[in-house]
């Protein structure tokens, strides 16, 4: 990591930062510079300040570790013990500072600040795939609760045995899309189904789609491009089912994308939820087009790029969950499916790996610009 960070400051973008600092601290004829230009440079400096502070703190901690190495050779046993404790503390601080610096070097994508629409769909495996899909949907609801996010079900198509054919939910909260985007893709489960009489292991799959939810300001839809249909709700629901036209289906005519909702008794509420889902789908399509223009094979397969890839395997016989993108395995499948510490730990590792890949891509772009 040190080499990556050092390299980043050796490239052309660092000279730009140095010029910015020089311009702002220049004591000469400031009136010769335009006020807008100086304001822009001051803004850049204010953004660089946390990065510079963390780098200086990192240098300080590394020097402290070097000093501790000398004390570890001291004849006094108690002094050596204190030095070892201090050294371990410094090493942990260094690790934390490296991660902070890495995060500061990576430009924050606007989409990472979005809320999202989560979609889960059963894949191969029949009823077993639907049961697994229901467990995954529950896991993400638990993950939302773990982070204090809201979780609003938009669509819920259940199977006869209590599984899920398809479901969607709107998730809102700080950094919700930034964390959830790593879940997009094909998830595979390997276990003996409850309906299996001979004890044979089955492999089933389900697919997760994570669609960023844009704000009304950043993304609008022409009402003339929509066809809105109403119908009677179907499925379990008592007297309400098949008595009122509350279910809503919205078709975006130019693209053919469809969103529907029948979760609420109110047609108006169902229309609002269906519109939210449709907006997320259209926004995601727009992002896919933009992303494909600068697609890099080295980059981690996350978000919209990973839907056709088997990103993770849940193996019950070995009680393990393996993420194939970073070759990380954690044990305790049932604990993982709670959507708490174990899922969050894997999510953090994916974020760190993604940040490193992004940093390397930025360095390569800087090298190409220089040449």
pLDDT digits (tens, 9 = 90+) for 117-126: 999 999 988 8
86 C-beta neighbours (distance < 10 Å), count: 16
Please report the pLDDT score of residue 360 as a whole number: 77
If asked whether residues 91 and 231 sit together in one domain, one would say no
Enter the DSSP assignment of 316: T
The residues pairing with 211 across neighbouring beta strands, listed in sequence order, are 117
The residues pairing with 260 across neighbouring beta strands, listed in sequence order, are 249
Average pLDDT, the chain: 79
- Asked if residue 28 belongs to a domain, the reply is no
User: The pTM is what?
Assistant: 0.64
What angle, 0 to 180 degrees and rounded to 10, lies between the N-to-C axes of helices 77-105 and 2-10? 50
Contacts of 193 by beta carbon, 8 Å cutoff, 6+ apart:
127, 128, 131, 202
If asked whether residues 178 and 245 sit together in one domain, one would say no
Tell me the Cα Rg of the chain.
26
Mean pLDDT computed over 279-287? 84
- Asked if residue 110 belongs to a domain, the reply is no
If asked whether residues 166 and 190 sit together in one domain, one would say yes
Please report the pLDDT score of residue 296 as a whole number: 43
Contacts of 45 by beta carbon, 8 Å cutoff, 6+ apart:
20, 21, 24
Q: What percent of the chain stands above pLDDT 90?
A: 30
The total of structural domains in the chain comes to 3
Terminal alpha carbon distance of the chain: 24
Please report the pLDDT score of residue 244 as a whole number: 61
- Asked if residue 206 belongs to a domain, the reply is yes
- Asked if residue 14 belongs to a domain, the reply is no
Please report the pLDDT score of residue 33 as a whole number: 53
If asked whether residues 61 and 185 sit together in one domain, one would say no
If asked whether residues 100 and 148 sit together in one domain, one would say no
Interval 187-235: pLDDT, tens: 999 999 877 777 789 999 999 989 888 765 566 788 899 999 988 776 5
If asked whether residues 129 and 56 sit together in one domain, one would say no
If asked whether residues 145 and 65 sit together in one domain, one would say no
Place of tokens 């400051």: 9
Domain of 332, CATH number, reads 3.30.70.1660
If asked whether residues 49 and 75 sit together in one domain, one would say yes
- Asked if residue 231 belongs to a domain, the reply is yes
Given a cut of 90, whether residue 297 has pLDDT beyond it is no
- Containing domain of residue 243, as a range? 223-290
Q: Which of the four pLDDT bands, split at 50, 70 and 90, describes residue 351?
A: confident
Please report the pLDDT score of residue 5 as a whole number: 44
Q: Residue 266: phi, psi to the nearest 5?
A: -85, 130
Q: Which helix (H) or strand (E) holds 312?
A: strand 310-315
If asked whether residues 186 and 99 sit together in one domain, one would say no
Given a cut of 90, whether residue 101 has pLDDT beyond it is no
If asked whether residues 131 and 204 sit together in one domain, one would say yes
Please report the pLDDT score of residue 290 as a whole number: 63
330 C-beta neighbours (distance < 10 Å), count: 18
Please report the pLDDT score of residue 122 as a whole number: 93
35: buried, middle or exposed (CB in 10 Å: 19+, 13-18, 0-12)? exposed
Mean pLDDT computed over 242-255? 80
For 146-183, give the secondary structure using H, E and C. Answer: HHCCEEEEEEEEECCCCCEEEEEEEEECCCHHHHHHHH
């Amino acid at each position: 990591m040190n080499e990556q960070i050092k390299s980043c400051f050796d490239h052309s973008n660092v000279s730009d930062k140095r010029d910015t600092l020089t311009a702002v601290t220049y004591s000469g004829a400031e009136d010769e510079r335009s006020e807008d230009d100086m304001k822009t440079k001051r803004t850049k400096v204010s953004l660089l300040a946390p990065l510079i502070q963390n780098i200086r703190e990192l240098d300080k901690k590394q020097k402290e570790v070097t000093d501790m190495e000398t004390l570890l050779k001291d004849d006094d046993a108690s002094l050596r013990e204190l030095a070892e404790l201090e050294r371990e503390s410094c090493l942990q601080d260094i690790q934390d500072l490296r991660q902070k610096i890495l995060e500061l070097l990576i430009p924050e994508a606007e989409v990472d600040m979005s809320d999202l629409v989560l979609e889960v769909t059963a894949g191969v495996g029949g009823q077993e795939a639907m049961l697994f899909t229901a467990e995954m949907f529950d896991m993400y609801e638990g993950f939302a609760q773990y982070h204090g996010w809201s979780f609003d079900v938009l669509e819920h198509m259940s199977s006869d045995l209590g599984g899920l054919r398809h479901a969607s939910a709107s998730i809102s909260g700080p950094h919700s899309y930034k964390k959830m985007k790593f879940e997009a893709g094909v998830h595979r489960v390997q276990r003996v189904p409850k309906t299996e009489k001979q004890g044979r292991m089955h492999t089933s799959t389900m697919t997760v789609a994570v669609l960023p939810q844009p704000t009304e300001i950043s993304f609008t839809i022409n009402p003339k491009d929509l066809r809105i249909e109403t119908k009677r709700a179907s499925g379990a629901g008592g007297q309400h089912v098949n008595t009122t036209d509350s279910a809503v289906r919205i078709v975006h005519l130019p693209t053919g994308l469809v969103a529907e909702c029948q979760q609420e008794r109110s047609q108006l509420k169902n229309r609002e939820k269906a519109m939210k889902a449709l907006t997320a789908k259209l926004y995601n399509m727009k992002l896919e087009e933009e992303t494909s223009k600068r697609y890099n094979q080295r980059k981690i397969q996350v978000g919209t790029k990973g839907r056709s890839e088997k990103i993770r395997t849940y193996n019950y016989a070995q009680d393990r969950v393996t993420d194939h993108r970073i070759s990380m395995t954690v044990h305790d499948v049932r604990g993982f499916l709670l959507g708490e510490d174990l899922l969050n730990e894997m999510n953090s590792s994916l974020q760190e790996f993604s940040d490193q890949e992004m940093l390397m891509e930025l360095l390569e772009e800087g090298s190409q610009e220089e040449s």
